[in-house]
Structure 1
């Protein structure tokens, strides 16, 4: 009896140790479609500028990220890439809250908390808050992603979106309620309740996401790599809640729109141009 008890204890310790050592690294590619509408005061679409803006936005939305994970924790960071070349004709885009590729998103799915280090206008913020508990609707629909069998899960939520239409001298703000449909594909063969970005909460790693015009796809996955995966909580930055950070983002967007309005007035001498971006 003592030998049996000793054997079972050793097996249990081995399982616990294996779970603690379990880790992985996943690479995700992201893409977001955006609609751009540009018109002059004659209401004629400016197709040349519109194409340049569309091409630049397309390049800026094509990014790759790395998710380092173990059973309960993860970090999600953007891979270093070459910045898009400036477009001809003086067309340029500044993304508020893009973080400049230095963002670090840390999640602890066991404690249901996250930390997100990000930058706005050169200032670093550290967002600390609770992970949203998601009510996923799991289905029996399956498909293969790489060598992994994946299952489809969906969710639907209502949110308020604010869009801006800028015409020189005037800014129009539109608020509307929209229904956001999220479709993800996860694999129980990798039993971690995690995924790219803020996506999590399923009995397996999320390998693919479709939400509105956003697409995220896992392009490479390595389990228990020979080089140990390091997961560190970001610590630098002004600590704020997600609600407070969202308020700061809205204020910075207002400032950017005001600067754009003033620049257009001084350069065009009253010529009216309207820009509307949806995505």
Structure 2
């Protein structure tokens, strides 16, 4: 009981002190390094990949799996977007590039006062504006702490529903259930299958977040928010988001503007648009397959 009372009291003291040093018009900028790991064993097309092959694939996918994002925030608003950088030689094409451009989230705007979420998204050359009510996770607060940079952070956990096309949680579909099928039928199925048929996404994932009440705003990277302090680290499934630098009240402040361009859709409507496009691509893939294989 004494330990809990001390935790609550210290939390309140930090919040009171921190709130007193933040002006009403303050702004901050936080830089986040993100990294997503992939299970290379499941992507060998039915054959075992060597360690060298896994490394080659990982090197080619590095710019897709490791990114830097910038969160510009005030007391009520924030904008989270990928830091612009020059593309590395040889990184401009291929399946990874298509996935990155089509499935990675565009700039995300959150207004915690008006409960507004907006995402500027491009998909196959068309601009969309995803608009939703800002929803928070049901965070379970913990008393465990750790230091991130100069900030003391507290732990919180939650269960998050995963978007159907969140590439960070995509994995090779487990075909173990199909082992008893007739090999002829299985070969026929493989001919008909497209790349998206081989991918699945879990319904939910466990999230661990670390936030600091020393920066008393309920903002965070990506679509994470709703804690009594800025979220500095997130571990969600196979993705880690870690804050590497914070600048409070920069000399040149950036105006946080809500995006307003593109066809306005909900997340559900956007998912339906992606699904339709994937079906079209699968039909094209199947059509080419029926055309027969080329012989030398």
Shorter-chain TM range is: 0.7 to 0.9
Tell me whether 1:226 sits opposite 2:229 in the alignment: no
Query: For each residue in 1:49-98, what CA deviation from the matched residue of structure 2 results, as whole angstroms up to 9, or x when unmatched?
Result: 654433322331111111111000011111112324337xx965343473
Match of 2:193 among 157, 160, 170: 170
Match of 1:247 among 272, 285, 290: 272
1:105 to 105, 108, 125: 108
- Aligned equivalent of 2:139, options 136, 140, 144: 136
Instruction: Give the stretch that moved more between structures: 247-256 or 116-125.
Output: 247-256
Counterpart in 1 of 2:60?
56
TM-score after normalising by structure 1: 0.77
| Superposition map of 1:169-248 within 5 A | 169-171=192-194, 172=197, 178-248=203-273
SS at match of 1:196: coil
Consecutive unaligned residues in structure 2, runs of 5 or more: 1-18, 165-169, 174-188
SS at match of 1:253: helix
How big is the shift at 1:30?
0.7
Paired with 1:75 and 1:176, the residues of 2 have a C-alpha distance of 27
Scaled by the length of structure 2, what TM-score is found?
Answer: 0.73
* Partner of residue 9, structure 1: none
> Offset of 1:112 from its aligned partner?
1.0
Instruction: State the aligned residue count.
Output: 252
Is contact 2:120–2:262 with CA below 8 Å preserved after alignment? yes
TM-superposed CA distance for 1:32, in Å, is: 0.7
CA RMSD of aligned residues (A): 3.3
Distance, in Å, in 2 between the alignment partners of 1:236 and 1:22 is 27
User: 1-side partners of 2:229 and 2:20: how far apart?
Assistant: 19
Does residue 1:126 correspond to 2:129, yes or no? Answer: yes
Query: For the structure 1 residues 51 and 241, does the alpha-carbon distance in structure 2 shift closer, same or farther, using more than 3 Å as the test?
Result: same
Assess if the C-alpha contact under 8 Å between 1:39 and 1:45 holds in 2: yes
Q: C-alpha deviations, 1:100-136, integer Å up to 9, x for none?
A: 9893211101111111101000100001111113210
- Aligned equivalents of 2:27, 2:227: Cα separation in 1: 17
Alpha-carbon distance in structure 2 between the residues aligned to 1:264 and 1:26: 48
- Are the aligned partners of 1:25 and 1:229 in contact in 2 as well (CA < 8 Å)? no
C-alpha deviation, 1:22, in angstroms: 1.3
> Quick one: structure 1 residues 198 and 258, their matched pair in 2 at CA, closer, same or farther if it must change by over 3 Å?
same
Question: For 1:117, which of 104, 116, 120 is the aligned residue?
Answer: 120
Partners of 1:256 and 1:84 lie apart in 2 by 28
Where in structure 2 are the equivalents of 1:147-158 lying within 5 Å?
147-157=150-160
Higher strand proportion (structure 1 or 2): 1
